[in-house]
Amino acid sequence: MPAASGAPSSVATPAGAEAATQPPQRIVRIRRDYNAWVADETIEDYALRYTPRSFHKWSAFRVANTALGAVSFLALEAIGASIGVDFGFFNAFCAILIVSVLDDALKELLAD
């Protein structure tokens, strides 16, 4: 037989005993807003939870540009590592240094 308080029959509590001992639950406004925001699963994104609001509104161009920068960095790391493995660290370091100096000199020469 179900309890008089409307509790399901699987819970064995005396009628009204629990309601009399527990005060009504108090939820502050900030917590209520947060719970409403989290309940909407369409906007929930764990990766963006702690990021600034301005980062949530990136354009497609900005996202693509950021991804391109990350991919180019990884590609250059792989190229540098393969040069280092193939020719040895010292030879690779000297070659990269010489090419960097020549590149800067050429830029300066062509800028004038």
| Average of per-residue pLDDT across 44-67 | 79
Are the CB atoms for 82 and 95 separated by under 8 Å?
no
* Chain segment 28-40, per-residue pLDDT in tens: 777 777 777 777 6
82 vs 89: CA distance, rounded Å: 10
- Residue 84 CA to residue 96 CA, distance in Å, equals 10
Which pLDDT score, from 0 to 100, does residue 64 have? Answer: 93
pLDDT at 42: 63
What gap in Å lies between CA 100 and CA 94, rounded to an integer? 10
Decide if pLDDT at 72 tops 90: yes
Listed by start position, the domains of the chain span: 17-111
How far apart CA 18 and CA 15 sit, in angstroms, is 8
pLDDT of 10 higher than 80: no
In this structure, of 8-22, 40-54, 56-70, the range with the lowest mean pLDDT score is 8-22
